[in-house]
Chain A
Amino acid sequence: MKTLLRQNRLAFLGGCVLLLLVAASLAAPWIVHADPSFMQPRMRLKPPGADFLFGTDALGRDVYARVAYGSRMSLAIGALVVLVTICLGTLTGLAAGASRMLDGILMRIMDGVMAIPGILLAVALVSLVGASLASVVVAISVPEIPRVARLVRSVVLSVREEPYVEAAVGLGVPRYKVVWRHILPNCIAPLIVQASYVFAAAILLEAVLGFLGVGFSPEVPTFGNILAEARPVFQRAPWTTVAPGLLLAATVLAVNVFGDGLRDSLDPKFAGRSHD
């Protein structure tokens, strides 16, 4: 983090914003005193003020409370989707890149998955088994896995031609060790960028699912269903969309900027430039 600050102030700022958002979502029960699902029909569509920091929505619920609890769910989905896609995608990509035999089979399966529009697949999967954290994470992860697998495979294909990989093979090092020691570390920089993109895309895709009405039910607030419920009253009460919308945008931006900076500081060629 220290080197990141020195090299890239923007990325450092992104990291700070992200940290703040995560801390705020984790601390939601302590910083929010209202119940996000508690409806007060007499308090419908109140503008932001002393009582309601971000105003209230069409059912008289506190937007501040809903957004705070909603960010929890959205961030959790983002993190889980990143974990699932990066792990499965990297494994698939490494296997395809390192073994000529598996390459054809695995990549055709990936091509097949990619041929289905991601959002349709997600809608189908969620409507089939019902919205739960697990089903939403799986639905969002599946269309992203081929992208990660392709990325990793392309890195493996280019790195395995490097003389130092050939030298390791020549030293009699078994293939799985060569892949683990010499090839996988080269995938990390592009994977971080991909992970930040997947994280951002997952949050957005969850929002889209919520917006289309196949996501979580309204008693579980997420950025998606808060925005979906705010749509009909957008013109009369813009605060209902502005607060969750801005937070969503800020999260996505912070993740992307942070990921870019992290990649630069992890690259030894970048860090080593001053020595040359």
Chain B
Amino acid sequence: MTETTGAASAQRVLEISGLEIRSAGRVLVQGVDLRIDAGEILCLVGESGSGKSLTASAVMGLLPGSLSVSAGSIRLAGQDLAAAGEAQMRRLRGDRVAMVFQEPMTSLNPLMRVGRQIGEVLQVHRPGLAAARVRARVLELMRDVHLPTPETLVDAFPHQLSGGQRQRVMIAMALALEPLLIIADEPTTALDVTTQAQVLKLFRELLSRHSSAVLFITHDFDVVQDIADHVAVMQSGRLVEQGPAAQVLSQPRHEYTRRLLAAVPSGRPKPQTHQPAAQALLSVRRLNLVYESRNLLGASRSTHAVADVSFDLERGETLGIVGESGSGKSTLGRCITRAHAPTSGEILFDGTDMALLSGASLRQARRRVQMVFQDPYRSLNPRRRIVSALTEGPMECGLSAAEARAKAAELLALVGLPQDSLDRYPHQFSGGQRQRICIARALAMEPDLVVADEAVSALDVSVQAQVLELFARLQRRLGFAMIFITHDLRVAAQICDRIGVMQRGRLLELGPARQIVEAPSHAYTRHLFASLPGRADDARTPSALETTP
């Protein structure tokens, strides 16, 4: 943790000075200076497009074709990488510099046993090593990253492992040759909170046994707090601030760092504003969704995606549904919008059972329940202008083209986008803007209920804060009820009146946000909150996230 403890940490592993990356004359990264010593973790923080991943690719010598390092030097243990040829870089990769990627699902070859994948790194860089020695080393590595029963898992295929286990395999591969530097590009972003906590702990622990330096790329300040020795903050290709983690986090000097830190969701429950109403808008009763799958021999297997879920939702209320991946929270949302037909149970919406509707009456009912999706890049048709996305629904309800267009213009103003957006295509907007358009599309139907499925998860923190603010403002003004599905407990705490916690299709616990955050009654909820990153000496959230012991 401290700057210089012993001889090992004084050794300079990576030194980047004055790095500049250009693409066809355009400067993408400029004047980046970074230093990492052995046994140290440097967190490189920034929003999408800040150049943090490009910097990492430059170190690996893996910049995409049209990009090149135009100035500055990258020194790995004194050796200049910018001057190294392709053959030399290939020898360095894996051996001296290793990489851990974000997506553990796609960065392993699905057709190769994990043991062989770890062993491959050894065989490539140490051609003379005997097969038995390779296997012994692989087992040792797997034990090192705490994979359970390495002797069995070594012959498993990637799909048989969980996301966290796959990321451990990736880390084992990175460690295989004891590299000087490990570059980890958002290695925990795709993982659930509980798994993320374990992987972060593993990183810290491994550094006490191995002398590698780690360049850890992330956008999450809470992760930084957990893991970093040093922090470097990047904004649009420039390094705006760097220093020891404690200093940057508690006394940020640069305006941008302060803004980013302020945008991190606090996780403090919002004050109770919602007044209980007499009659529920939506009541879900004993909802079940069972998937039946048959294998080739005809033996059937059933999966309970949603099991016996019941809850009520009042007008104007926001209900958060939190849970890890596979908990059935999105499936529950899809049942309520009737994108999926439930196997059994009732979805009483304003008195009518949505579960029983079909055909034209289902089409009518669907309009009152609108959905906002996670991925702003896929939820708008790339071939159609914004105006057609916003007018499609209203025109189906009988509005004329001119009326619908006027309404679309009004909605754009409401979500804070310029009027000339109407005739543009989705690709001309940023992720945050697209999400605003999706919200406008949902609101065009004047819904009574909006189901937001991970609606802010794909956005940068500062944009995320703006979109959450927009949701809250629109809800106050228009009075729709909302079901907010998220894996991020901090976001849920901030925006929801009540929170429900789901695990394996069941609703474990449901209660006012304050109660769930401050005094969760279920052990799993307590475990979830305890796994949140950035909980140790959290200056920003004094007591809100403390769990009962």
Contact = CB atoms under 8 A, between A and B. Distances in A.
Do chains A and B stick together as partners? yes
Contact of B427 (A162, A186, A276): A276
Contacts of B397: 172
B32 interface: no
Contact of A172 (B339, B363, B380, B425): B363
Interface in A149-201: 162-164, 166-174, 177, 181-182, 185-186
B373 A269 contact: no
A269 B382 contact: yes
Interface in B328-387: 337, 339, 363-364, 366-367, 369-371, 373-375, 378-384
Nearest to B382: A268
Given A172-B397, A268-B425, A275-B427, A167 B378 contact: no
Given A171-B367, A173-B393, A268 B339 contact: no
B366 A169 contact: yes
B379 A167 contact: yes
Interface in B366-420: 366-367, 369-371, 373-375, 378-384, 389, 392-393, 396-397
B389 to A, nearest CB: 8
Given A272-B425, A272-B427, A171 B378 contact: no
A172 B367 contact: yes
SS class, residues of chain A in contact with chain B:
helix
Contacts of B389: 164
A167 B363 contact: no
B93 interface: no
Given A164-B378, A268-B427, A174 B363 contact: yes
Interface in B403-444: 425, 427-428, 438, 441-442, 444
Interface in A249-276: 268-269, 272, 275-276
Give 8 closest A-B pairs by Cβ, nearest first: A171-B393, A272-B427, A163-B379, A163-B373, A172-B367, A172-B363, A164-B381, A185-B383
Contact of A167 (B364, B369, B425, B438): B438
Contacts of B374: 163
Contacts of A177: 396
Given A166-B373, A167-B371, A269-B427, A172 B396 contact: yes
A170 B371 contact: yes
Identify which of B367, B427, B441 gathers the most chain A CB atoms within 10 Å of its CB. B427
Given A173-B392, A173-B393, A166 B339 contact: yes
29 contacts: A162-B379, A163-B373, A163-B375, A163-B378, A164-B378, A164-B380, A167-B379, A167-B442, A169-B366, A170-B337, A170-B366, A170-B367, A170-B369, A170-B370, A170-B371, A171-B366, A171-B393, A172-B366, A173-B393, A173-B396, A182-B384, A185-B381, A185-B383, A268-B427, A269-B427, A272-B425, A272-B428, A275-B427, A276-B427
Interface residues on B, range: 20 to 34
B392 A171 contact: yes
B482 interface: no
Interface in B442-457: 442, 444-445
Contacts of B337: 170
Interface of A: 162-164, 166-174, 177, 181-182, 185-186, 268-269, 272, 275-276
A182 B381 contact: yes
Contact of A166 (B371, B383, B427): B371
Identify which of B375, B396, B445 gathers the most chain A CB atoms within 10 Å of its CB. B396
A167 B441 contact: yes
A169 B339 contact: yes
Nearest to A159: B381
Contacts of A166: 339, 371, 373
B101 to A, nearest CB: 22
A93 B380 CA distance: 24
Contact of B445 (A163, A164, A171, A186): A171
Contacts of B396: 171-174, 177
B383 A268 contact: yes
A276 B428 CA distance: 7
A268 B382 CA distance: 7
A10 B373 CA distance: 41
Nearest to B451: A170
Contacts of B425: 268, 272
Interface string B285-319: 00000000000000000000000000000000000
Contacts of B339: 166, 169-170
A210 B61 CA distance: 57
B375 A168 contact: no
Contacts of B381: 164, 168, 181-182, 185
A177 B369 CA distance: 20
B334 to A, nearest CB: 8
Given A163-B378, A164-B378, A186-B383, 15 more contacts: A164-B379, A164-B380, A164-B389, A166-B339, A170-B339, A170-B367, A171-B445, A172-B364, A174-B363, A174-B396, A177-B396, A268-B425, A268-B427, A269-B427, A272-B427
A268 B396 CA distance: 26
Identify which of B381, B389, B445 gathers the most chain A CB atoms within 10 Å of its CB. B381
A276 B429 CA distance: 8
A174 B442 CA distance: 17
Nearest to A168: B392
A166 B442 CA distance: 12
Identify which of B371, B383, B444 gathers the most chain A CB atoms within 10 Å of its CB. B383
A263 to B, nearest CB: 14
A186 to B, nearest CB: 8
A158 to B, nearest CB: 12
Nearest to A178: B392
A238 to B, nearest CB: 45
A238 B83 CA distance: 58
Contacts of A162: 378-379
B428 A275 contact: yes
A163 B442 CA distance: 13
B393 A172 contact: yes
A275 to B, nearest CB: 6
